[in-house]
Amino acid sequence: MSAARETMDDRRETASGDAPNGAAARVPQRAEARPAKRDRLQSRPLDLKRGRVDLAHGAGGRATAQLVEELFLAAFDNEWLRTMNDSATLAPPAGRLVMATDCHVVSPLFFPGGDIGALAVHGTINDVAMGGAKPLYLSAGFILEEGFPLADLQRIVESMARAAREAGVPIVTGDTKVVETGKGDGCYVTTTGVGVVPPGIALDGASARPGDAIFVSGTMGDHGVAIMSKRENLEFETEIVSDSAALHGLVADLLAACPRVRVLRDPTRGGLATTLNEIARQSGVGMTIDERAIPVRPEVAAACEFLGLDPLYVANEGKLIAIAPAGDADAVLAALRAHPLGANAARIGSVVEDPDHFVQMTTTLGGRRVVDWLTGDQLPRIC
């Protein structure tokens, strides 16, 4: 990570004897990844139990370098970070590159089924994957608020590291800034991802054609309702957990089985309804969907009912929308359902010709209505 390039100074600061109890003994996970002990910048390691972020952690001096080494490098450890350069040097892969970036300001930072760290990894991997690409590398930018507990930061960073390891996508560079108390809200995380598209795959939000079939990979609205259930003033008891997950494995399986898939997109903010409208507008088509075919967990439907929300507009973080020629419908559904993250996949409708680009829905009642873009913000800071 940047900022860590000052000459290593083995000068020891004084008074190692007054280190807080136990702090000196704390060894971060994967300690072998850290620079040799004699290179340590400060005599006392970060107090990851009781310590807090202060302005020095963002100033670019020793404190920044210490934060990077003892927290970020210890957790993310890989050959690129270990060089301690400002940037990662990567060999360009063959093929077309996909690049995506995603800012995360979710509140609360920790929620049922995830946290801002794992979400930041999943969110960007999914954006890269929706371009049909195999994600290769991530970068991570942190904006921390003065006073933020280091223990919470460690929890977030370790969750990110776990998500990145599980996804097989290393975090190869990053940056940290600190803002004064009151100028941030604890922790914001921005991630950027790079991936490469296999030959023969051409996904584009403008490619939906009349007659195509529309699919979702699972239940709608889980993430938004999980977040909502932990919001101040609104806490309610529920078993619902966020669906936050990296979808590149599901995408790889789907594209291997059905390379003619035309559009993939993850229905995050604005939910299914808004994402379908985006695609309809980009492709210059209309859509018709069937309310009865859209999978929604009963507990999510119930929560939406008493909160006055429509599950079609509630965010997802581990689901995708796929649009493919109708002739491939069976293969698409089979490929999605064969993967654990697509077990509840369903065909929900069709692409039609429509100069007004309306998304229309047949209701459970048998009536019809427009499914419009989200208006306003029914749920701020969902991701």
Partner 1 sequence: MKYVDEFRDGAVAQGLARAIAREAVAARRYNFMEFCGGHTHAISRHGVTDLLPSNVRMIHGPGCPVCVLPIGRVDLGIDLALERGVVLCTYGDTLRIPASNGRSLLKAKADGADVRMVYSAADALRIARQHPAREVVFFAIGFETTTPPTALVLKEARESKLGNFSVLCNHVLTPAAIVTILESPEVRALGTVPLDGFVGPSHVSTIIGTEPYEFFAREYRKPVVIAGFEPLDVLQAILMLVRQVNAGRSDVENQFHRAVSREGNAKAQALVAETFELRRAFEWRGLGTVPYSALAIRPGFAPWDAERRYALTYRAVPDNKACECGAILRGLKRPTDCRLFGTACTPETPMGSCMVSSEGACAAHYSYGRFRDREVAVPVAAVGGRTGVAA
Count of residues in contact with partner 1, rule CB under 8 A:
43
Nearest to 322 by CA among 212, 170, 162: 212
C-beta separation of 219 from 174 below 8 A: no
- Site membership for partner 1, residue 349 (CB under 8 A): yes
Residue numbers 327-346 binding partner 1 by CB under 8 A: 344, 346
- Site membership for partner 1, residue 352 (CB under 8 A): yes
**Which one of 41, 171, 347, 382 is in contact with partner 1 (CB under 8 A)?**
347
Nearest to 100 by CA among 142, 143, 133: 133
Token digits of residue 307? 């909160």
CB of 190 to partner 1, least distance (A): 24
**Which one of 181, 202, 292, 327 is in contact with partner 1 (CB under 8 A)?**
292
CB of 278 to partner 1, least distance (A): 15
C-beta separation of 278 from 205 below 8 A: yes
CB of 6 or CB of 235, closer to partner 1: 235
Residue numbers 212-241 binding partner 1 by CB under 8 A: 219, 233-234
Question: What is the number of alpha carbons within 13 Å of residue 288 lying toward its C-beta?
Answer: 10
Token digits of residue 165? 């390891």
- Site membership for partner 1, residue 185 (CB under 8 A): no
Nearest to 170 by CA among 139, 212, 132, 215: 139
CB of 301 to partner 1, least distance (A): 4
CB of 82 or CB of 369, closer to partner 1: 369
- Site membership for partner 1, residue 302 (CB under 8 A): yes
**Which one of 144, 294, 324, 383 is in contact with partner 1 (CB under 8 A)?**
294
C-beta separation of 339 from 278 below 8 A: no
Computed over its alpha carbons, how large is the radius of gyration of the chain? Answer: 23
Torsion of Cα atoms, 214 then 219 then 223 then 224, to 10°: 80
- Site membership for partner 1, residue 353 (CB under 8 A): yes
- Site membership for partner 1, residue 125 (CB under 8 A): no
Residue numbers 247-286 binding partner 1 by CB under 8 A: 286
- Site membership for partner 1, residue 107 (CB under 8 A): no
CA 119, 225, 171 angle in degrees (round to 5)? 0
C-beta separation of 136 from 93 below 8 A: yes
Distance (Å, rounded) from C-alpha 281 to C-alpha 20? 59
**Which one of 23, 103, 293, 334 is in contact with partner 1 (CB under 8 A)?**
293
Q: Which pairing describes strands 134-145 and 263-265: parallel, antiparallel, or unpaired?
A: unpaired
Residues 6+ apart with CB under 8 A from 40: 69
- Site membership for partner 1, residue 365 (CB under 8 A): yes
CB of 23 or CB of 334, closer to partner 1: 334
**What per-residue string of b and e applies to 149-187 under the rule 16 or more CB within 10 Å gives b?**
bbebbbbbbbbbbebbbebebbbbbbbbbbbeeeebebb
Distance (Å, rounded) from C-alpha 354 to C-alpha 184? 44
Of the candidate spans 16-24, 25-33, 264-272, 295-303, the one that interacts with partner 1 by CB under 8 A turns out to be 295-303
Distance (Å, rounded) from C-alpha 271 to C-alpha 310? 9
**Which one of 260, 278, 354, 381 is in contact with partner 1 (CB under 8 A)?**
354
Of the candidate spans 53-61, 187-195, 244-252, 294-302, the one that interacts with partner 1 by CB under 8 A turns out to be 294-302
Residues 6+ apart with CB under 8 A from 120: 102, 104, 140, 160, 189, 190, 191
- Site membership for partner 1, residue 319 (CB under 8 A): no
CB of 66 or CB of 350, closer to partner 1: 350
Of the candidate spans 68-76, 139-147, 255-263, 349-357, the one that interacts with partner 1 by CB under 8 A turns out to be 349-357
**Which one of 16, 166, 305, 327 is in contact with partner 1 (CB under 8 A)?**
305
Residues lying near partner 1 in the complex (CB under 8 A):
219, 233-234, 286, 288-290, 292-298, 300-302, 305, 310, 344, 346-350, 352-354, 356, 358, 360, 362-370, 372, 375-376
